[in-house]
Amino acid sequence: MRELTYREAIREALREEIQRDDRVFIMGEDVAVAGGAFNVTQGLLAELGPERIFDTPLSESAIVGAAVGAALMGMRPVAEVMFADFTTIAMDAIVNHAAKMHYMYGGEVSAPLVVRLAYGGGMRFAAHHSQSVESWLANVPGLTIVMPATPADAKGLLKAAIRTPNPVIFLEHKLLYNTKGEVREGEYLVPIGQADIKRPGDGVTIVATGLMVDRALGAARSLAREGISAEVIDLRSIQPLDEETILGSVEKTGHLVIVHEAPVRGGFGGEVAAVVANKAFGYLDAPIQRVGAPWTPIPFSPTLEEAYLPKESDIVTAVRSVVGASAG
């Protein structure tokens, strides 16, 4: 099958959806002429024209607020907020407006917008351009939060996100933009809320999101060499959360390790742990282990950022500790 980068897959999804549905449009800072801070929308202005993709002032609150208003009036905006760290300045439009519109209108209308955000570390962009923000939004009913880990999922999930009649936060990991993978041509959707078992196994369940899926797969490969069979689950969306897939896996493996790039404390891993400690308690053979960043802001210097970001070896260590715990 054809290979595309994650970036190209997203671009293809945007192009296809805009061509399919004349309610869909893209706006954000430097998305049109300059093709986006990460070149995701490069070329789309020429292909689609200035009414379907346009640049805005440096006003994230207005970008998302206006997307909400346009969505209420029947449009399907895809708003780009560049760095996920800027969620803080669009937070009100997301949390108090987009998420609650359908409910507060009593179901009469809804706010079908997508907010695209580039998240994560690894590019030496320091504390204000590297954060993983999903848990800031994970306690907000009405939102859908998607975190694609592969080019194929990026395309199928984004197309689904654009078609969903609800507001979607779409988190793209910066380090994934250049990764390649097989991507089907043309039309397909990946249903939002369906986790993907990226590697089957029966000794331990590793639940991961975004860039960490790849690290988890790497860890699983080295664990296999030690005779530990790890099942790697890519959540793909944290809301809806596919509890069934997680629980089914833990019932089989009896061991759970959760991995995300955000700090462990207060991160979404707690939710996954709580669901399992409630609904699959009887199947657990060992403590639940979480892997994530430490409790610090994100530092600039490479030596520090390396120390900050969760690594394959951290996952391996965590798995060994839970598998060892039940063995011991």
Partner 1 sequence: MGYSDQLTEKDLIQMYRWMVLTRVFEDRICGLWGKGGVVELPHGSQGQEAIAVGACYGLRQQDHVMPSLRTRGAFLVKGISARVQMAGVYAKVTGPARGKATAHHMGDAERGVLLGSGIVGASITVAVGAALAFKLQRRDNVVVDFFGDGAAQRGDFHEGLNFAGVFKLPIIFVLENNGYSEYTPLSKHFAGSDFACRAQGYGFPGMRLDGNDIFAVYEAVQAAAARARAGEGPTLLECMTYRYRNHCEVQPPEAFRDPAEIEQWQAKDPIARMRAQLMQRGILTDALVSKITAEVEAEIDDAIQYAEESPFPAPEELYKDVYAPESPELVVGRRS
Ligand X SMILES: Cc1ncc(C[n+]2csc(CCOP(=O)(O)OP(=O)(O)O)c2C)c(N)n1
15 near 47, Cβ under 8 Å?
A: yes
Residues that bind ligand X (CB under 6 A): 29, 58, 60, 82, 86, 89
Q: Which does 266 bind (CB under 5 to 8 A by kind): ligand X, partner 1, a second copy, none?
A: a second copy
Q: Which does 287 bind (CB under 5 to 8 A by kind): partner 1, a second copy, ligand X, none?
A: a second copy
Q: Which does 150 bind (CB under 5 to 8 A by kind): partner 1, ligand X, a second copy, none?
A: none
Q: Which is nearer to partner 1, 286 or 309 (CB)?
A: 309
Q: How far apart are CA 177 and CA 282, in angstroms?
A: 40
121 near 309, Cβ under 8 Å?
A: yes
Q: Which is nearer to ligand X, 31 or 157 (CB)?
A: 31
Q: Which does 200 bind (CB under 5 to 8 A by kind): ligand X, partner 1, a second copy, none?
A: none
Q: From the CB of 241, what's the least distance to a second copy, in Å?
A: 7
198 near 217, Cβ under 8 Å?
A: yes
Neighbouring residues of 136: CB distance < 8 A, sequence distance ≥ 6: 87, 91
Q: From the CB of 128, what's the least distance to partner 1, in Å?
A: 3
CA distances (Å), origin 277, targets 112, 139, 241, 280: 34, 19, 15, 6
Residues that bind a second copy (CB under 8 A): 85, 87-89, 91-92, 94-96, 99-100, 103-104, 127-128, 135-142, 239, 241, 262-263, 265-274, 276-279, 281-282, 284, 286-290, 294-297, 299
Q: How far apart are CA 185 and CA 41, in angstroms?
A: 18
Q: Which is nearer to a second copy, 87 or 150 (CB)?
A: 87
How far is CA 69 from its chain centroid? Answer: 25
Record the tokens describing residue 154, joined without a space. 């990026």
Catalytic residues: 129
Q: From the CB of 50, what's the least distance to ligand X, in Å?
A: 19
Q: From the CB of 59, what's the least distance to ligand X, in Å?
A: 9
Reference 258, options 284, 282, 224, 226; nearest CA is: 284
